[in-house]
Amino acid sequence: MRFFDLFVPGRVCLFGEHSDWAGGHRRTNSAIAPGVVIISGTNQGMYARCRKQPGELVVRSTLTDGTVTETFRVPMTLERLQQEAAAGGFFSYAAGVAAYMLDFFGVDGLEIDNYKTTLPVKKGLSSSAAFCVLVARAFNQAYQLGLTTRAEIEAAYQGEIATPSRCGRMDQGCAYGQIPVMMTFDGDRISVKPLRPGGDFYLLIADLCGKKDTVQILSDLNAAFPFAKTPRDTEVHCCLGAENQRLLALARAAVEAGDAAGLGALMTEAQAVFDQHLMPVCEELKSPRLHAVLADAQVAVWVYGGKGVGSQGDGCVQFLCKSVASRGELEAYLQRQYGMPCFELDIKRPASICKAVIPVAGLGTRMFPYTKAVPKTFLPVVTPDGIAKPVIQVIIEEALAAGVEEVALVIQPEDEPRFRAYFQTDVRPETLAKLPTALKHEAERVMAIGKRLTFIPQHDAKGFGHAVLLAEKWVGNEAFLLLLGDHLFRSSETRSVARQVVERFEAFGDSQSVVGIYEETLARVKHYGTVTGEWIEEDTLQLRRVFEKPTEDEAQTYLTVARHGKETYFCVNGIYALRSGIFGLLRQQAALSGTGEVQLTPALEALRQDEGVKGLVVCGTHFDTGIPSIYAETVGKFGSSLVH
Ligand code: UTP
């Protein structure tokens, strides 16, 4: 049975602390406003390797300090799991969640090796909830239950409350990963909305190393619920209700707009509101250490704002820093001046393109008879660092350097064992032992790439467009990066060539597809998709025509482009940042072609007519490996550091 890897972060409550349980009081008093919080997954978390384990639950854990626990084993029966859950302790969480999964989904056993933990425990980061989510997700994946993140959250919560530990309902929000999530609490109902940050936010959380009595804080604040009896109670309701809702609406807008200065100011305002209304009812909320550091004029130089964390008191403080550099200075200062250990939290604008498709199922007739032996994507090239790699690895590395997380290769079904042998099978120990260190690292890199790959079979080589269409289900309704399986790139600036295309796609607000283009000689346009259009920026054409492999005559008649005072030609370089609308157009092409080939270029031309397509003149060179004479040139030039 194969292992699979999981990572679950902890979570920090950025705004709205205490409103979660306050909103829960709507069960008895509907005049209370629903609670709203924004939480975010932390950079730190729990890593695990998991696989099915018939008949028992087997868990091993590695604590933050590197200590490995003894292995916990329990038979996969409801009674034994429930007993272990009720007994308490670290493994009770796993037993509690396993009992729930067995009861509701009839799963069998599981082995979980939590081989690394970077999450500080007992720092209000919900390490227990992270562990429960990890167990729920491991069952979900091992038994292919198809549960949504929301359902995993429920399983994690039910599992945790089967143990003696108490947890809040917002703790399991870490299931959404390292993104901010808005959660609303209305009596027993919770709704969860992942937010899409419009920019990067650099937070620093510092342990105030003070004292904090969470039970006392909760008891003092809860005394005002469910019905307000005094004007002060009414103030508490207002602070955790209407005022909280107002601040959270503004905070959500600031997150989505990428407005770090605005979000920092809101943190400071939230603390002021909290102090004004809640401090008078709870001595613990005077929190002298928190207020001293928030009022420190030196700290203000590096931050846009800050506030207390979690239940507040002298537990932790969070700051929104002006930059990565100012965060570094603040961290050093807090450690030096106050002896406060810190950890960083990044909230990042998500990449607009997370997936890449690389079709490599072509027949490779132009490289025959080599392709009778091996698919052409396994042809060797030597990279500038002197390592011999198959073409496909270099192309996948190009895609990953553009920021994508997952890559699908469209392959001929009979080639799958070859791809798996290369990317997903460990090197034999006797070979590994003989490799120099650099190549040992390379072996690890290849396996790391293998974890991000999906293979999609193309049973009949019905063209490049047909291969792309087969990836539709895997890509879903998102923009994606498409790379040819036989073109290599060398950037002449710091960003990879694919990264340049993706960034330009993002810069135009993801509103139109962008293809990489380069200047080509008239004699060679017959090999490539050729484009024409109007310059809208120095390096960007708004395309007016996309033409597959034109003759010289056709190119001269329809496809000239004026550039730097001369007539020239531009061809697509094999890198496309495409909106998902391409799939519908490819389907139309497929319907028109009957059993014939489906090419990308006509669909790209249709996409251009529908919603516009831009061409970016990339900074860099591309190398074809699919034509013998050009491949021979590529082998010579690609490894040379002189090429640009
Ligand atoms: P090419 O146009 O170079 O075709 O494909 P080919 O079959 O690889 O090579 P020749 O023309 O027979 O010599 C461009 C890319 O699209 C993939 C190829 O593997 C290559 O990466 N492709 C092409 C598919 O995946 N499926 C196909 O049916 C055709």
Q: What is each CA distance from 620 to 314, 497, 508, 517, 538, in whole angstroms?
A: 54, 6, 21, 10, 16
User: How many Å apart are CA 152 and CA 166, to the nearest integer?
Assistant: 18
Distance 463 CA to ligand 1 centre (A): 7
Distance 114 CA to ligand 1 centre (A): 43
Residue nearest atom 23 in ligand 1 by C-alpha distance: 362
Distance 608 CA to ligand 1 centre (A): 23
User: How many Å apart are CA 111 and CA 130, to the nearest integer?
Assistant: 17
CB of 371 closer than 6 angstroms to any ligand 1 atom? no
Specify which residues 406 forms β-bridges with.
355
User: How many Å apart are CA 15 and CA 183, to the nearest integer?
Assistant: 11
Specify which residues 39 forms β-bridges with.
13, 181
Q: Assign 507 a pLDDT band (cuts: 50, 70, 90).
A: confident
CB of 626 closer than 6 angstroms to any ligand 1 atom? yes
pLDDT, residue 119, reads 82
Query: Exposed (0-12), middle (13-18) or buried (19+): which is 443, by Cβ within 10 Å?
Result: middle
CB of 529 closer than 6 angstroms to any ligand 1 atom? no
Residue nearest atom 10 in ligand 1 by C-alpha distance: 364
Is the pLDDT score of 54 beyond 70?
yes
In terms of DSSP bridges, do strands 613-617 and 513-520 run parallel, antiparallel, or are they unpaired? parallel
Residue nearest atom 18 in ligand 1 by C-alpha distance: 362
What atom in ligand 1 is closest to the CA of residue 368?
13
Specify which residues 117 forms β-bridges with.
46
pTM above 0.75, yes or no: no
Pick the CATH number of 4-193 from 3.30.230.10, 3.30.70.20, 3.20.20.70, 3.90.660.10: 3.30.230.10
Take residue 285 and report the two structure tokens written for it.
Answer: 């909320």
Q: Render pLDDT for 364-387 as a digit per residue (tens, 0 to 9).
A: 999 999 999 999 999 999 998 899
| Same-fold call for 4-193 versus 355-637 | no
Domain 355-637, CATH class in plain words: alpha beta
Share of the chain above pLDDT 70, in %: 98
Distance 592 CA to ligand 1 centre (A): 20
For residues 481 and 356, the answer to whether their CB atoms sit within 8 Å is yes
Query: Exposed (0-12), middle (13-18) or buried (19+): which is 19, by Cβ within 10 Å?
Result: buried
CB of 625 closer than 6 angstroms to any ligand 1 atom? no
pLDDT, residue 641, reads 53
Distance 549 CA to ligand 1 centre (A): 14
Q: Which of 118-122, 166-170, 254-258, 345-349 has the highest mean pLDDT?
A: 254-258
User: How many Å apart are CA 498 and CA 403, to the nearest integer?
Assistant: 9
Is the peptide bond preceding residue 369 cis, with omega within 30 degrees of 0?
Answer: yes
Q: Is 201-347 in CATH node 2.60.40.3880?
A: no
Pocket test for ligand 1, best of 486, 527, 548, 627 (most atoms within 8 A of CB): 486
What is the mean pLDDT of the segment spanning 556-570? 95
Angle CA 410–378–395, to nearest 5: 65
pLDDT, residue 642, reads 47
CB of 392 closer than 6 angstroms to any ligand 1 atom? no
Closest CA to 209 of 123, 323, 127: 123
Closest CA to 174 of 216, 132, 226: 132
pLDDT, residue 643, reads 44
Is the pLDDT score of 66 beyond 90?
no
Task: Give the chain's mean pLDDT.
Answer: 93
CB of 360 closer than 6 angstroms to any ligand 1 atom? yes
What atom in ligand 1 is closest to the CA of residue 375?
19
User: How many Å apart are CA 616 and CA 516, to the nearest integer?
Assistant: 5
What atom in ligand 1 is closest to the CA of residue 410?
25
Distance 578 CA to ligand 1 centre (A): 19
User: In the chain, where are the structural domains located?
Assistant: 4-193, 201-347, 355-637
Is the pLDDT score of 144 beyond 90?
no
pLDDT, residue 125, reads 67
User: How many Å apart are CA 211 and CA 302, to the nearest integer?
Assistant: 26
Q: Render pLDDT for 427-474 as a digit per residue (tens, 0 to 9).
A: 999 999 999 999 999 999 999 999 999 999 999 999 999 999 999 999
* Amino acid letter, 12: V
For residues 129 and 167, the answer to whether their CB atoms sit within 8 Å is yes
